[in-house]
Homo-oligomer: A and B are copies of this chain.
Amino acid sequence: MPKATKKETKKKSKKPLILISNDDGIEAKGLNTLVKEISKFAEVIVAAPHTQQSGQGHALTVSNPIRATEIYKNKKFFGYAVEGTPADCVKLGVKELMKNRKFDLCISGINHGANTAINIIYSGTVSAATEATILGIPSIAVSLGSFTFLDFEPAAKFAAKMAKLVLKKGLPKGTLLNVNLPPVPQNKIKGVLVTKQGKSDWDDFYDKRIDPNKKPYYWLVGDHVLSDKTNDLDHKAIMEGYISITPIHYDLTDYKMLDELSEWNIRK
Binding site for B on A (CB under 8 A): 52, 54-63, 65-68, 85, 87, 91-92, 95-96, 118, 120-122, 127, 130, 134, 158, 161-162, 165, 169, 171-172, 175, 177, 189-192, 194, 196-197, 201, 204-206, 208-209, 215-220, 243, 245-258, 261-262, 264, 266-268
Residue of B nearest to A247 (CB): B257
CB-based contact A258/B262 at 8 Å: no
Copies in the complex: 2
Kindly state the separation between the CA atoms of A177 and B217 in the bound complex, as whole angstroms.
Answer: 32
CB-based contact A59/B61 at 8 Å: no
What residues of chain B lie closer than 8 Å to A60, measured between beta carbons?
Answer: 55, 57, 122, 220
CB-based contact A194/B250 at 8 Å: no
Kindly state the separation between the CA atoms of A238 and B105 in the bound complex, as whole angstroms.
Answer: 35
CB-based contact A217/B257 at 8 Å: no
What residues of chain B lie closer than 8 Å to A191, measured between beta carbons?
Answer: 267-268
What residues of chain B lie closer than 8 Å to A52, measured between beta carbons?
Answer: 63
Kindly state the separation between the CA atoms of A261 and B196 in the bound complex, as whole angstroms.
Answer: 12
With A246-B253, A252-B250 already in contact, the answer to whether A267 and B192 are too (CB < 8 A) is: yes
Kindly state the separation between the CA atoms of A249 and B253 in the bound complex, as whole angstroms.
Answer: 6
With A92-B206, A266-B165 already in contact, the answer to whether A197 and B63 are too (CB < 8 A) is: no
Kindly state the separation between the CA atoms of A26 and B52 in the bound complex, as whole angstroms.
Answer: 28
CB-based contact B253/A248 at 8 Å: yes
Kindly state the separation between the CA atoms of A253 and B197 in the bound complex, as whole angstroms.
Answer: 6
What residues of chain B lie closer than 8 Å to A201, measured between beta carbons?
Answer: 134
CB-based contact B67/A215 at 8 Å: yes
What residues of chain B lie closer than 8 Å to A218, measured between beta carbons?
Answer: 65-68, 92, 96
CB-based contact B243/A247 at 8 Å: no
Interface centre among A68, A206, A246, A258, by most chain B C-beta atoms within 10 angstroms, is: A206
Extra inter-chain contacts (17) besides given A60-B122, A194-B266, CB under 8 Å: A54-B62, A57-B87, A57-B127, A61-B220, A65-B209, A67-B216, A67-B218, A68-B216, A96-B206, A120-B252, A161-B266, A191-B268, A192-B266, A194-B261, A197-B252, A245-B261, A247-B258
Interface centre among A63, A165, A201, by most chain B C-beta atoms within 10 angstroms, is: A63
Separation in Å of the A51 CB from the closest CB of chain B?
10
What residues of chain B lie closer than 8 Å to A216, measured between beta carbons?
Answer: 67-68
Residue of B nearest to A255 (CB): B196
Kindly state the separation between the CA atoms of A118 and B191 in the bound complex, as whole angstroms.
Answer: 35
